[in-house]
Chains A and B, each alone.
Chain A
Amino acid sequence: MRMIVAMIWFDLKRFGQSPWRILFGLTQPLLYLFVLGAALRSGTYAEVADYQAYLYPGILGLALMFSAVSAAVGIVHEREVGFFRALLVAPVPRRHLAVGKVVAGAVLAFLQTLPLLPFAPVAGLGLTPVSLTQLVGAMFLSALVFSALGLALAMPFRSVLVFPVVSNALLLPMLFLSGALYPLDLAPDWIQLAARFDPAAYGIDLMRGAVSGQFAIAPGRSVLLLALCLLVAGVWVLARLRRAAEQ
Chain B
Amino acid sequence: MTPPAGAGLAVSRLTFLRGRRAVIDDVGFNLAPGTLTALVGRNGAGKTTLFSLLSTLLCPHAGTIQLAGVDAVRDPGLARRHLGVVFQSAALEPRLSVEDNLRFMASCRGMRGSEANAALPGILEELDIAAVARARIDTLSGGERRRVELARALVGRPPILLLDEPTQGLDPMARQAFWTRMRAQVAQGHTVLCATHHVEEARDADRVLLLDRGRLRASSSWRSLTQGLRGVIELVTVDNDKSLAWLVQAGWRVERGEGCLRVAAVDVAAQLPALLCAMPVAVVRAEAHPPGLEAVLDAFGAEAEGTACA
- What is the interface of chain A, defined by CB distance below 8 A to chain B? 2-3, 5-6, 9-10, 13-14, 17, 78, 81-83, 85-93, 245-246
- A192 and B245 CA atoms in complex are apart in Å by 96
Candidates A17, A82, A92, A245; contact of B108 at CB < 8 Å: A92
Whether the Cβ atoms of B109 and A89 lie closer than 8 Å is no
Q: Which residue of A lies closest to B152 (CB)?
A: A86
Whether the Cβ atoms of B108 and A91 lie closer than 8 Å is yes
Q: Is there a chain A Cβ closer than 8 Å to B95's Cβ?
A: yes
Q: Say yes or no: A88-B57 contact (C-beta < 8 A), given A14-B95, A83-B91.
A: yes
19 A-B pairs whose Cβ atoms sit less than 8 Å apart in the complex? A2-B110, A6-B108, A10-B100, A14-B96, A81-B90, A82-B89, A82-B90, A82-B92, A83-B90, A83-B91, A86-B152, A88-B57, A91-B77, A91-B78, A91-B80, A93-B77, A245-B56, A246-B58, A246-B59
- A87 and B108 CA atoms in complex are apart in Å by 8
* CB of A148, distance to nearest CB on chain B (Å): 21
Greatest chain B CB density within 10 A among A5, A17, A92 is at A92
* CB of A15, distance to nearest CB on chain B (Å): 10
- What is the interface of chain B, defined by CB distance below 8 A to chain A? 52, 55-59, 77-78, 80-81, 83, 85, 87, 89-96, 100, 104-105, 107-110, 112, 152
Candidates A17, A86, A91, A246; contact of B110 at CB < 8 Å: A91
- A9 and B96 CA atoms in complex are apart in Å by 12
In the complex, which residues of chain B have a beta carbon less than 8 angstroms from the beta carbon of A86? 85, 87, 91-92, 105, 152
A-B contact count (CB 8 A): 75
In the complex, which residues of chain B have a beta carbon less than 8 angstroms from the beta carbon of A91? 77-78, 80-81, 108-110
- A90 and B110 CA atoms in complex are apart in Å by 10
In the complex, which residues of chain A have a beta carbon less than 8 angstroms from the beta carbon of B57? 85, 88-89, 245-246
Whether the Cβ atoms of B92 and A83 lie closer than 8 Å is yes
Whether the Cβ atoms of B55 and A89 lie closer than 8 Å is yes
Whether the Cβ atoms of A90 and B87 lie closer than 8 Å is no
Q: Say yes or no: A10-B104 contact (C-beta < 8 A), given A2-B112, A82-B90.
A: yes
In the complex, which residues of chain A have a beta carbon less than 8 angstroms from the beta carbon of B81? 91
- A246 and B104 CA atoms in complex are apart in Å by 24
Whether the Cβ atoms of B85 and A89 lie closer than 8 Å is yes
Candidates A5, A10, A85, A90; contact of B109 at CB < 8 Å: A90
* CB of A38, distance to nearest CB on chain B (Å): 38
In the complex, which residues of chain A have a beta carbon less than 8 angstroms from the beta carbon of B87? 82, 85-86
In the complex, which residues of chain B have a beta carbon less than 8 angstroms from the beta carbon of A81? 90, 92-94
Greatest chain A CB density within 10 A among B90, B92, B96, B108 is at B108
Greatest chain A CB density within 10 A among B100, B104, B109 is at B104
* CB of B15, distance to nearest CB on chain A (Å): 16
Greatest chain B CB density within 10 A among A3, A85, A89 is at A89
- A81 and B92 CA atoms in complex are apart in Å by 7
Name the 6 nearest CB pairs between A and B, nearest first.
Answer: A6-B107, A245-B57, A90-B108, A86-B91, A91-B80, A82-B91
* CB of B310, distance to nearest CB on chain A (Å): 16
Whether the Cβ atoms of A6 and B104 lie closer than 8 Å is yes
* CB of B60, distance to nearest CB on chain A (Å): 12
- A92 and B104 CA atoms in complex are apart in Å by 12
Whether the Cβ atoms of A245 and B52 lie closer than 8 Å is yes
- A69 and B110 CA atoms in complex are apart in Å by 29
Whether the Cβ atoms of B96 and A13 lie closer than 8 Å is yes
